[in-house]
Amino acid sequence: MAAKKTQLDIYQTAMPLDPNALDPKSPHTDGWQYAIRYIRSLGEYTPFFIALSSKKFLVSRCENCSYWKRNYVYATPRPGLICMYCGMQCKWMEIEPRGKIHSFTICRYSAEMFKDEVPFALILVEFSGVDTLFMGKLRGVNLEQPTTESPQELEGWIKSFIGRPVKAEFRKLISPKKFDPTDVWFIPDDRVI
């Protein structure tokens, strides 16, 4: 049946009189939808995402790392929880998720999947006693970039974010957990240190 229909379609499409004279500027384009649901395991990262749903933030620690000659602590767990320097298995450890902004940006455009969320701020967070950083969204700040008279003025505004204390906030129990890194984000930490 299908083959017969294709035959008909061919006959219904007008052939150009001279195919060699086909206008190369007006080619036909095809369209293709490709929607698929991937089921992917979070594997050894699972405890990290489960912990987020209990409002806990886990880091992973290489105990007595033979490269660094001390504990080396990863804010973002490494594949296989294997220390990238000495190859030992890291151990999960809960920390109080308060830290400082290491770097930041305000995204006004994004990947299509997040286009309804712009503008949003991304930050890299430094936690004290942790050797690597964690990437997340920064919320609870005014994302309006001021109109500036000089590049130095804008640089000053950008740099004013660096080093600012932040703390983690977790997705509320009532809302469905996504078990992805958006279950945690960061807000300014006004606690006096």
Rounded Cα distance between 158 and 104, Å, is: 8
171 in contact with other proteins (CB under 8 A): no
115 in contact with other proteins (CB under 8 A): yes
Q: Binding-site residue total for other proteins (CB under 8 A)?
A: 54
Instruction: For residue 10, give Cα distances in angstroms to 2, 16, 19, 32, 174.
Output: 13, 13, 15, 20, 56
Binding-site member from 147, 172, 175, 192 for other proteins (CB under 8 A): 147
The least distance separating other proteins from the CB of residue 151, rounded to whole angstroms, comes to 4
Rounded Cα distance between 91 and 178, Å, is: 24
Q: Phi, psi (5° rounding) for residue 169?
A: -125, 145
> CB under 8 A: which stretch of 1-9, 87-95, 111-119, 169-177 binds other proteins?
111-119
Task: Decide: 188 and 141 in contact? Cβ < 8 Å.
Answer: yes
Q: Phi, psi (5° rounding) for residue 183?
A: -70, -10
What are the strands, taking DSSP E only, across 26-119? 57-65, 70-74, 91-95, 98-107
145 in contact with other proteins (CB under 8 A): yes
Minimal CA–CA distance to 83: which of 67, 107, 101?
67
93 in contact with other proteins (CB under 8 A): no
- Any residues with CB less than 8 A from the CB of 53 and at least 6 apart, and which? 170, 171, 177, 179, 183
- Residues 40-79: x where in contact with other proteins by CB under 8 A, - otherwise, as a string: --x--x----------------------------xxx-x-
Residues 2-21 that bind other proteins (CB under 8 A): none
135 in contact with other proteins (CB under 8 A): yes
The least distance separating other proteins from the CB of residue 148, rounded to whole angstroms, comes to 7
The least distance separating other proteins from the CB of residue 8, rounded to whole angstroms, comes to 26
Q: Which is nearer to other proteins, 5 or 115 (CB)?
A: 115
DSSP state of 28: -
Interface residues with other proteins (CB under 8 A)?
A: 24-25, 27, 29, 32, 34, 42, 45, 74-76, 78, 84-85, 102-115, 117, 120, 122-124, 131-137, 145, 147-148, 151-152, 154-155, 158-159, 162, 180-182, 185
